[in-house]
A and B are shown apart, each in its own frame.
Chain A
């Protein structure tokens, strides 16, 4: 692994911490708010809190900082985030406004599973801490998993997690987040059924959509989704990276080498298509087609996470270039820019979209935060970093 500038990483992490604080909203329940830009849809009008996958990276990042420094202010922020989810949970188990770029709305995937991961990490980490009361975090995650994912999306006959109760559909990266949540829950509950009944078959379905053609550029890639039996042969490096931790988790739990092999193959695909500057193309297709833009910057934290985990099994995998890509995307107000190239997707038509590159999105920045927190120089994490007030840059431009 190449050398990473731990000082620079620490400055980015501290900047993100300050920026996250500035992105707090008070309605409909307290939480992290802010706009969302995404490949197809943006969410620029809804200004309340979004209880979606942003919490996964925020909680894990803060817990990492707490473990590395012993400073309880990081634990307090992780706990505050957990409280956001508990207080924003609806009676049906869903989290309020969890649909990210499709907000406002509930029942977002993989967002609610990612929120469960956040709660379960918090419950696990604070098991011996009397001040935080981990039971309510565990209860909230369990309520969501059992009521929403297992109760409404799980299709018993086929042993598949559908993406919609009414459409036979399977989306590997979303299912992978569900697998992670189930593995975390199984580690905290005496329920032997959870892994065998839900996580294992889901992992098998993910692997069934993986390309295994040595020598092909797509070798290791995982198709984006399946409708019925029809596979949508789009391959998004970021979403494929999100499958890696779940597959490795299944290997650790079961010892089944097919999961480790699949995880390493997926990570090698991501590394293979990465650009020299550490960024990744948006999506690849069969027969050598690409759509390069936009290239995610803050969201590439999930790529760093995947390559870091997989590098323990394949030494040639190096997250450092993508760490540099993210560090270069940090801005004076502490955010990390969302992307590069929104204006280049469709010449002329998407030119006004170029301002979306600079929008600060909590649900992308959390991935950078989570990935960089373990790499930051811990001696610098005790300091405060001065950042500029958060910029509303880009949102007004995108709205015009």
Chain B
């Protein structure tokens, strides 16, 4: 059952769908005019490599991209380089709850707290939640319908999940992962 909930043709080594969506979002918001990602990426090696596949050309001007970086390492690199902008991909509070039942998952750490960012001289600019309550409901509905012998409806629920990956502003609180941008305010 677990394998079937992956999109057809997705191999076992593929990223969880919300991480792919997170990388897409980060590239979309930070790319140059040619669509290539800018900045430097730190964090989980797998995610950094995936981000570079979008066509990173070594252009370091741009935000610091922190992909699953631990709070300690993030604190260190931000403290040292003091970038104007930092964009993070990190786990949300829902991640731990759902991990046992998800077909695919990745061990993303949770990011720095609001207070920690303020201490470093940064303020959150925007935040997007990925894979929240809506997507979970669709995913559960898919599994139920597949067991009930309704693959036609299950496939539509799968589509519903994929089209509901981005949460509402309230739903962000329960998302599996977040993409957040911080800008430096302290002098």
Contact = CB atoms under 8 A, between A and B. Distances in A.
**Interface size class for chain A?**
35 or more
A285 B10 contact: no
A171 B14 CA distance: 17
B27 A353 contact: no
Contact of B159 (A105, A169, A290, A345): A345
B152 A40 contact: no
Interface string A327-367: 00000000000000000011001101100000000000000
A154 interface: no
A27 B36 contact: yes
B163 A166 contact: no
A287 B148 CA distance: 13
A397 B149 CA distance: 35
A41 B53 contact: no
A163 B53 contact: no
B3 A349 contact: no
B155 interface: yes
A283 B152 CA distance: 9
B156 interface: yes
A16 B150 CA distance: 39
A163 to B, nearest CB: 7
A140 to B, nearest CB: 21
Contacts of B17: 41
Contacts of A39: 159
B156 A345 contact: yes
B60 interface: no
A324 interface: no
A250 B3 CA distance: 31
Given A105-B53, A232-B4, A346 B10 contact: no
A285 B158 CA distance: 16
Contact of B4 (A41, A46, A227, A285): A227
B24 interface: yes
Contact of A45 (B3, B8, B9, B54): B54
B11 A350 contact: no
B11 A163 contact: yes
A133 interface: no
Considering residues B13, B28, B55, which has the most beta carbons from chain A within 10 angstroms of its beta carbon? B55
Given A45-B27, A47-B55, A290-B152, A164 B36 contact: no
Interface in B109-128: none
Contacts of B7: 40-41, 102
A233 interface: yes
Given A46-B54, A167-B3, A350 B163 contact: yes
A104 B9 contact: no
A47 B34 contact: yes
Contacts of B164: 349
Nearest to B156: A346
B171 interface: no
B35 interface: yes
B9 A349 contact: no
Interface of A: 27-28, 39-41, 44-48, 97, 102, 104-105, 107, 109, 163-164, 166-167, 169, 171, 174, 224-225, 227, 232-234, 283, 285, 287, 289-291, 345-346, 349-350, 352-353, 399
9 contacts: A27-B34, A39-B159, A40-B158, A46-B35, A102-B14, A164-B13, A166-B11, A232-B4, A291-B155
Given A105-B53, A349-B164, 6 more contacts: A41-B17, A45-B27, A45-B28, A47-B31, A102-B14, A167-B3
